[in-house]
Every structure is written in structure tokens, then in C-alpha cells.
């Protein structure tokens, strides 16, 4: 184990966090989580294990039931709406009515928290959008309507939006879900690249175990019994964390060892 990885500055730190919807019982209690800067962390878990609740809580869409989240060294409840928009950027599977916007217009929306009430772009805003387009590699399609793009390209546009938002933390909900194999690998490569280049903390929720093992730095595995198992990929695999997504029974349990030997 590389010691330096452990003391990397963290972007998000959850202490004694309980999550869940306000009306019901908390889904998880006493979570202590660390999201490191400059690295890609994959959040894995079976359906209904509370992945999206955790993600929504970290993004500030729903309040924590208990405990606290510290983002970039400050408690999340101290953030104003605008500060939060400049700190945590999201890429979701949700589709709106953005088909009539061009790539440039969509990425420009990432500058929303920085522009005046008419949304006028200053030189620095334009520069940030241009850089985001370059970083993701869709600058040549800037005038394309989103409706004319493939799912993979749309994903890239939304990632560029999050980069233009200039957030040190980017959270992606199943970014590879609708993509073919090549597009999945390209998306993960892109996320690795932007995590390194901007020292950004990237959190991905995914069902794609293979890609998560090969291309992310850390794993968060949600299991209803033991909470969240976290750490660098190799360490989590060594500790048998994969059991919680593959299951314990003979049929699927065998595959856990399969992934063990691969690393």
C-alpha cells in the first residue's frame, strides 16, 4: 500500500453520516467516508442499496438525516446555493428538454453560478467554456444541437458543463449506463484525465464492476449489513469487499475470487 495515497487531501469527508429520506427510517447510519482529490472513486452497490440517496445527499439535493458532510474543509450546511453550485457539479442520467440547445449553449450553462442575472458571459466565462470543450474533446461540435448527438457525446457535453462549472468535485450518476463498450472506456479515460488535470475529485455511481476495477482509483461499496466499504481498489478487493455486490452464494460468489486473481 502506498502511504502517500492515504494522506492525499480529501475533497469530501463524511463524519457519522446518516442518510435516507426525511420521512422514513435512515437507510444508513454512521457512515465515515473520504473522497480523495485528484482521483476517481467508483460507488458500487446492488440496486436499492442507497447509492442514489448517498449521491443526492452529497450533492445537497436532500439533507443528511444525521451527522455531517464537510466539503473542501467546510460543513456542507454552511454553503449557500450559489457556493454549492460552484463546488459540486453533477452529471445525471436525467434528460430534460435540452435537445434544442447547441453544445456551446449547454456547456455555457455551466457558467450559470458565475454570470449576472441575464446570464451574460464575460471573457473569463468564455475562456472557461472553451477550455471545457477542449478538455472533453468536443470543441469541433460546438454548434451541433444536442438532439443530433449520440448518448456518448451527450454525456461528454454534460461532463464539459460540469468542468465549465469549475467545481473541485464532480459527481456522476451512472455515466456509462447507456453507452457501448468503446464509449464506456473513453468516458472513464476522460474522467481519469480530468481528475488528474484539475486535481478534481470524481465520484461515479456505476454497475460496471469491470470498468470500476480497472479504471478507478478507489471504491466505495455499499452493503446493507456493514455500511460502506471504502479504500483503494486493490485494498477493497483484498478485504473481500466485492462479496457485497456479487453476493455470498455459490453461484455468484465464485466470481469474487475471479476478480481477486485478476488484480
Partner 1 sequence: MRHYRLFIPLLYIALACVIIALATICMTTGAIDIPPSQVWAALTGGHVDNRVWSVIVTQSRLPQTVTALMAGAALACGGLLLQTLFANPLADPSILGVSSGAGLGVAAVMLASGGAVGSLAGTLSTVAGAMVGAMAVLALIIALSTVVRSNVMLLVVGLMIGYMASSAVSLFSFMGAAESVKSFSVWGMGDFGGVSLARLPYFVAITAAGLLWALLMMKPMNAMLLGESYCRNLGVNLKKLRVSVLLSTGLLTAVVTAFCGPVSFIGLAVPHMARLLTGTSDHRVLMPVVMLLGAAVALACNLLTTVFGEGNLLPLNVVTPLLGAPVIIYVIVNKRKIAYFN
Give the residue among 225, 230, 255, 252 at the shortest CA–CA distance from 241.
230
Binding of partner 1 by 123 (CB under 8 A): no
Give the residue among 2, 29, 1, 3 at the shortest CA–CA distance from 17.
29
The beta strand positions in the chain, using DSSP E, are 10-19, 28-36, 40-44, 66-71, 74-75, 88-91, 169-173, 201-205, 218-223, 227-232
Cell numbers found for residue 56:
443526492
Distance in angstroms (rounded) separating the CA atoms of residues 53 and 59: 10
> x-or-dash pattern for partner 1, window 81-110, by CB under 8 A?
xx-xxx-xxx-x-xxxxxxxxx-xxx-xxx
Binding of partner 1 by 63 (CB under 8 A): no
Binding of partner 1 by 113 (CB under 8 A): yes
**Nearest approach, Cβ of residue 158 and partner 1 (Å):** 8
Does residue 222 come out as left (phi exceeding 0), alpha (psi in the -120 to 50 range) or beta?
Answer: beta
Binding of partner 1 by 214 (CB under 8 A): no
Closest to partner 1 by CB, 112 vs 255, is 112
**Nearest approach, Cβ of residue 133 and partner 1 (Å):** 12
Binding of partner 1 by 150 (CB under 8 A): no
Q: What are phi and psi of 48, to 5 degrees?
A: 80, 10
Contacting residue, 78, 143, 225, 251, with partner 1 by CB under 8 A = 143
Counting residues that bind partner 1 (by CB under 8 A) gives: 38
Total residue count of the chain as it appears in this document:
263
Cell numbers found for residue 240:
473481500
Contacting residue, 18, 70, 115, 131, with partner 1 by CB under 8 A = 115
Closest to partner 1 by CB, 105 vs 199, is 105
Binding of partner 1 by 134 (CB under 8 A): no
**Nearest approach, Cβ of residue 92 and partner 1 (Å):** 6
Break the chain down into helix, strand, coil percent, rounded to 5.
45, 25, 30
Single out the segment in contact with partner 1 by CB under 8 A; choices: 117-125, 195-203, 207-215, 219-227. 117-125
Could you say which DSSP state residue 158 is in?
H
Single out the segment in contact with partner 1 by CB under 8 A; choices: 8-16, 17-25, 33-41, 78-86. 78-86
**Nearest approach, Cβ of residue 51 and partner 1 (Å):** 15
| Per-residue exposure over 196-207, b if at least 16 CB sit within 10 Å of its own CB, e if not | eebebbbbbbbe
- Which residues of the chain form contacts with partner 1 (CB under 8 A)? 59, 61, 81-82, 84-86, 88-90, 92, 94-102, 104-106, 108-110, 112-113, 115, 117-119, 142-143, 145, 147-148, 165
Amino acid at each position: 500500500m502506498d502511504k502517500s495515497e492515504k494522506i492525499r487531501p480529501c475533497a469530501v469527508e463524511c463524519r457519522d453520516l446518516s442518510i435516507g429520506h426525511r420521512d422514513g427510517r435512515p437507510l444508513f447510519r454512521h457512515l465515515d467516508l473520504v473522497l480523495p482529490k485528484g482521483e476517481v472513486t467508483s460507488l458500487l452497490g446492488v440496486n436499492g442499496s442507497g447509492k442514489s440517496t448517498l449521491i443526492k445527499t452529497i450533492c445537497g439535493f436532500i439533507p443528511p438525516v444525521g451527522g455531517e458532510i464537510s466539503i473542501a474543509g467546510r460543513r456542507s450546511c454552511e454553503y449557500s446555493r450559489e457556493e454549492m453550485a460552484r463546488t459540486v457539479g453533477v452529471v445525471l442520467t436525467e434528460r430534460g428538454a435540452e435537445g434544442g440547445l447547441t453544445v456551446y449553449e449547454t456547456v455555457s450553462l455551466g457558467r450559470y453560478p458565475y454570470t449576472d442575472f441575464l446570464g451574460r458571459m464575460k471573457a473569463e466565462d468564455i475562456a472557461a467554456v472553451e477550455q471545457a470543450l477542449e478538455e472533453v474533446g468536443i470543441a469541433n461540435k460546438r454548434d451541433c444541437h444536442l438532439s443530433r448527438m449520440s448518448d456518448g457525446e451527450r454525456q461528454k457535453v454534460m461532463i464539459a458543463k460540469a468542468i465549465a462549472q469549475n467545481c473541485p468535485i464532480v459527481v456522476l450518476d451512472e455515466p456509462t449506463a447507456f453507452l457501448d463498450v468503446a464509449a464506456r472506456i473513453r468516458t472513464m479515460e476522460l474522467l481519469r484525465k480530468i481528475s488528474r488535470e484539475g486535481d478534481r475529485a470524481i465520484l461515479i455511481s456505476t454497475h460496471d464492476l469491470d470498468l470500476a476495477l480497472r479504471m478507478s482509483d478507489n471504491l466505495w461499496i455499499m452493503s446493507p449489513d456493514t455500511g460502506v466499504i471504502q479504500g483503494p481498489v486493490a485494498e477493497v478487493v483484498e478485504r473481500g469487499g466485492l462479496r457485497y455486490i456479487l453476493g455470498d452464494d455459490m453461484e455468484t460468489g465464485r466470481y469474487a475470487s475471479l476478480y481477486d486473481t485478476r488484480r
